[in-house]
Amino acid sequence: MIGLISATAAGAAARDRLAAAWPDRTRVYEGPAGEAVRAAFAECDRLVCFLATGATVRLLAPLLGDKATDPGVVCVDEGGRFAVSLVGGHGGGANELAYEVAALLGAEPVVTTATDAVGLAGLDTLGLPAEGAVAAVSRALLDGEPVALEAESAWPLPPVPFAEQGAYTVRLTDQAVQPGPREVLLRPPSLVVGVGASRGAPVEEVLGLIEEALREAGLSVRSVAELATVDAKSEEPGIVAAAERLGVPLVTYPADELAAVSVPNPSDAPLAAVGTPSVAEAAALRTGGELLVPKRKSAASPAMATCAVVRRPGRGRLAVVGLGPGARDLLTPRAAAELRRASVLVGLDQYVDQIRDLIRPGTRVLESGLGAEEERARTAVAEARKGHAVALIGSGDAGVYAMASPALAEASDDIDVVGVPGVTAALAAGAVLGAPLGHDHVSISLSDLHTPWEVIERRVRAAAEADIVVTFYNPRSRGRDWQLPKALAVLSDHREPGTPVGVVRNASRPDESARLTTLAGLDPATVDMMTVVTVGNTATRNIAGRMVTPRGYRWQHAPEGAR
């Protein structure tokens, strides 16, 4: 929860914009600023103070305790020009919040932690619990000293400029070891603990059994990702409380699913009680992985709890990211965040150039020239299967004539896939032209490199007959100069010569150009591959130099004054 505090009318206006944008994440604190800050500090995970930094510092000073537990605080100035990460930049999440607030308010984010200032991912911001010499190893990275990564299993880490060898080390491990003086331990969420319990089993017995099993196996409790059990035990108080105390989710499965899992130690007792010969082992193994601790019982007499521990493999992560039409302010905050998170970036060289300044140190960039879309897709999936965090980029929306479809055709369920939408060329061009897409519309690519012309022509004819607004992608190139005239001729069979047509080249980019013409007046020779052509339907009009398609057909028949 994010607490919002303001002291002036201007601050309240900006505060209310955040509250409206994030209704489920924010809580507004009214009243005197001092009382509001104290209440929010005690009740919220993070704070946004629309106050002077000096006043905010004085109000916060007596409340501060420890950077590991204090909420992150962002301060926004009266003019809404800057969102300053004031307290808890990493541990409290203030740096991330400053970027979010700035994006929403149109402000400039200000972060002063050293790693963020130079674009490095902080070791305590990688999404994993970190132990050991975090400050010393971070200092080494900032100073350019070699820091080695020792990963006992693949895990999709954000980019960090690791070396093969170094005097400093970051070790990715779920083993219960202590860090050395120049070492940071990162704890991946790699352990799944399966739990079974008799009715009324006390939480102390369940939790004690889990902790003992982990300790004897030499495993860190900080790498426990979840507790797992059978559906019938989803509300068993001892199991539910154990998950809460460990701070992990409780995952449950139907008995018939667990009964189908092959286990080394089946038993008749759980079969009779809940319908499966195994609860602890089967629930732990349900997600796959290596059984590290076979089923064991608690030491109580009679034993009321069982557990088993599995190490699940790290899953690579593939983010398919749409960069938008080219303008930086049309790159979404979510897309920018994925670019910062990726340790491997795959894309067309000219698209990589657009966002090269956003790439963090340590990111491996795999770029290639025009064509080879399938090769780039295969490369991205292969890198994700190695356990990396991969971003595969495309222009506009990656799912529209771009990289999402070839990538997902290659990907199986052994990696996690995230889609990040982007502003398409059709939408960017439509905004320049006016409102040509106000009613039903369709996008059709005129490139016959991947689709036979007969199929393309059939689609154009169907759109023409259905009176749908059409946006043509890839309308004309040096080697394909006859497809656009043919498509326009098909549309002309069903639409008047004066039908508005919008032509936009390099939408949203510095050399953007746009013109409004007609179906009869469009010269195909003025169109190239950087152009988007939008042809209106029978209701589309040129109004004050803007291309407008009404939301309904009644409008074209309405009296002039009612339009």
Residue 553 — pLDDT band, cuts 50, 70, 90? Answer: low
The Cα–Cα gap between 21 and 467 comes to 37
Total of domains in the chain = 5
Question: Is pLDDT at 555 greater than 60 in this prediction?
Answer: no
Q: Is the pTM of this model over 0.85?
A: no
Same domain, 66 and 104: yes
449: in domain? yes
Asked if residue 560 belongs to a domain, the reply is no
Both 343 and 304 in one domain: the answer is no
pLDDT in tens, 119-129: 677 777 777 88
Q: Tell me which residue of 248, 250, 225, 226 sits closest to 236, measured CA to CA.
A: 250
Are 198 and 298 found together in one domain? yes
Q: Which of 311, 330, 345 is the last residue before a domain boundary? A: 311
pLDDT band at 254 (very low <50, low <70, confident <90, very high): very high
Which burial class, exposed, middle or buried, applies to 214 when counting CB atoms under 10 A from its CB (0-12, 13-18, 19+)?
buried
Rounded Cα–Cα distance for residues 393 and 352 (Å)? 8
Strand order from edge to edge, sheet including 183-186: 130-132, 183-186, 168-172, 147-151
- Of 311, 342, 370, the residue that ends a domain is 311
Residue 315 scores a pLDDT above 80 = yes
Residue at 16 is within a domain: yes
Has residue 90 got a pLDDT over 80?
Answer: no
Q: Do 14 and 96 reside in the same domain of the chain?
A: yes
Query: Are residues 139 and 256 both part of a single domain?
Result: no
> Are residues 12 and 105 part of one domain?
yes
Tell me the residue range of the domain where 300 lies.
192-210+218-311
- Per-residue model confidence as pLDDT tens digits over 503-518: 999 999 889 999 999 9
Summarize pLDDT for 9-60 with one digit per residue, the tens. 888 999 999 999 999 889 999 989 899 999 999 999 999 999 888 889 999 9
Residues 181 and 201 in one domain: no
Whether residue 550 sits in one domain with residue 431: yes
State the residue for tokens 């508005």: 500
**CATH (domain of 291):** 3.30.420.180
Domain CATH for 65? 3.40.50.11220
State residue 562's pLDDT score: 41
Q: Do 510 and 468 share a structural domain?
A: yes
Domain end, chosen from 291, 311, 331, is at 311
Q: Please, which residues have CB within 8 angstroms of residue 190's CB and are 6 or more apart in sequence?
A: 153, 155, 174, 223, 225, 311, 312, 313, 314
Instruction: Give the residue-averaged pLDDT of 203-211.
Output: 96
Cα-Cα end-to-end distance for the chain:
46
Angle at 51 between CA 48 and CA 54, to 5 degrees: 110
In a domain, residue 304? The reply is yes
118 within a domain of the structure (yes/no): no
Question: What is the torsional sign of CA 477, 478, 483, 485?
Answer: positive
- 227-254: average pLDDT: 96
Q: Is residue 152 part of a domain?
A: yes
Task: Round to whole Å and give the CA distance between 282 and 195.
Answer: 9
Residue 65's pLDDT band, with cuts at 50, 70 and 90, is confident
What pLDDT score does 563 carry? 42
The answer on 459 and 529 residing in a single domain is yes
- What pLDDT was estimated at residue 144? 86
Q: 6 and 36: one domain?
A: yes
| DSSP secondary structure letters along 332-373 | -HHHHHHHHH-SEEEEEHHHHHHTGGGPPTT-EEEEE-SS-H
